[in-house]
Structure 1
Amino acid sequence: MHSQAHDVDAPSLLEALRAGTALLHVVLEKRLPFFSERLDAHWYERLLRAYYGFYRPMEAALYDSDLIPDGFDQAMRVKTPTLVSDLHALGLSDATIHTLPPCTDLPRLDTPAACLGALYVLEGATLGGQVLRREMAQRLGLDADNGAAFLDVYGAETGRRWTDFLDFLGRQPLDTPARQRAVDAARSTFSCFEQWLDSQEVLL
């Protein structure tokens, strides 16, 4: 571990994550079809299938790693069950959901710092949920009860949970190399997610 003196002028973990992922975030957001005039119910269902194919193995890898630092409220933040509920609401059976292809090209989650970087991406993805949900309600008639709960998975708690997550990040005593591992994992999470969605042909 580097001494604190060596890291005085280094960016905070949050600053490093924001700077390191900003461009990847913009690129992916532009390719997501939620605001496309061509998005229909079939495309939406395929998109949700693809999200499930990423989130299920991703969350399993994260939460089975035993590397997430203490203080992360995993039980309140796991999102795969909400995706399953949405897929059920869209008419998919358990058997069909079980056969959906999983993403196998996941980021390396072999250190606590890497887990933090991946969590930063997954938690940050919740922030635009209310806007997406309103758009899907207007465009496709979808809401929390019939297939769009995942889009606003935290609902009214979104802001508070993001603040709580940032507080959690801020308490992590990461030195400069560890912060870089977190950034690398966050970047890899974005890249793996985009490549997976691309392979499922659900992006613009």
Structure 2
Amino acid sequence: MFSSAARPSSLIQALRTETAELHVALEKRLPFFSERLDLEWYRRLMAAYHGFYKPLEQLLHVLAHTPTGLDQSLRIKLPVLRADLMALGLDEATVDTLPTCELLPQINSPAAALGVSYVLEGATLGGQILRRRVAEQLDLDASSGAAFLNVYGDLTGRRWKDFLQYLADRNLGDSQMLEATHAAKATFICFERWLDSQEVLL
């Protein structure tokens, strides 16, 4: 439990504070800004992203714990990832047989689902910077394998603000705050371990 002195003033603040170190650590290992990033490495990286997002999105949407009032159908990224991989030269059968992550964050409550969603939505916002980098380094755009990095297009800023407002409107108790932050941290940890296992990190 949070002590009265240490209790974050909002769910957003708690999520940002608790995940900051893990977020920075993962960013340092992603190869997007490496001069060695080439098309083959990028293709393997996107295949690894697919292997994490596929089971995690399925878990989020199948469970009854998905928070009410948050339209997850607007936030599914898997079809865009699949399209990117095919634009990068993989056929549909190959994409269907790509390895998927089995060690996923536990989603056993609506609060935990919020924590996981916070990481996924934050990554979508960060994709705007990565999109520009991939365009410069690899000459890729939304039609040639980089649509995932701009999956919401012109709606990116609006959907992030809507998501933050949704979080701000949640009135969670201490135990629910902990569930959300634990799930968010677990998402970063599981994602980094998975990318490591697929040998796509620096």
TM tier relative to shorter chain: over 0.9
Moved beyond 3 Å, runs of 4+: none
Aligned runs of 1:81-120 on 2, under 5 Å?
Answer: 81-120=79-118
Aligned runs of 1:33-48 on 2, under 5 Å?
Answer: 33-48=31-46
Which digits, 9 at most, give the CA deviation of each residue in 1:17-76, with x for residues without a partner? 010000000000010000100000000000000000000000000111121221112121
CA distance in 1, matches of 2:9, 2:170: 13
CA distance in 1, matches of 2:8, 2:43: 43
Which digits, 9 at most, give the CA deviation of each residue in 1:87-112, with x for residues without a partner? 11111111101110000000000111
**Which amino acid in the other structure matches residue 198 of structure 1?**
D
Query: What is the CA-CA distance between 1:128 and the residue it aligns to?
Result: 2.0
Instruction: Find 1:23's aligned residue among 21, 37, 45.
Output: 21
Question: Unpaired runs of 5+ in structure 1?
Answer: none
Q: Residue in 2 aligned with 1:134?
A: 132
CA distance in 2, matches of 1:94, 1:200: 20
Query: What is the CA-CA distance between 1:173 and the residue it aligns to?
Result: 2.1
Which digits, 9 at most, give the CA deviation of each residue in 1:127-170, with x for residues without a partner? 12222111111111100001000011112211110000011112
Q: Residue in 1 aligned with 2:66?
A: 68
Q: CA RMSD in A?
A: 1.5
* 2:176 matches 1:168: no
Query: Aligned pair count?
Result: 199
* 2:200 matches 1:202: yes
Query: What is the CA-CA distance between 1:10 and the residue it aligns to?
Result: 4.3
**Which amino acid in the other structure matches residue 102 of structure 1?**
T
**Which amino acid in the other structure matches residue 108 of structure 1?**
Q
CA distance in 1, matches of 2:185, 2:8: 19
Q: Work out whether residues 24 and 190 of structure 1, in 8 Å CA contact, stay in contact via their aligned partners in 2.
A: yes
Question: Unpaired runs of 5+ in structure 2?
Answer: none
* 2:171 matches 1:178: no
Query: What is the CA-CA distance between 1:11 and the residue it aligns to?
Result: 2.4
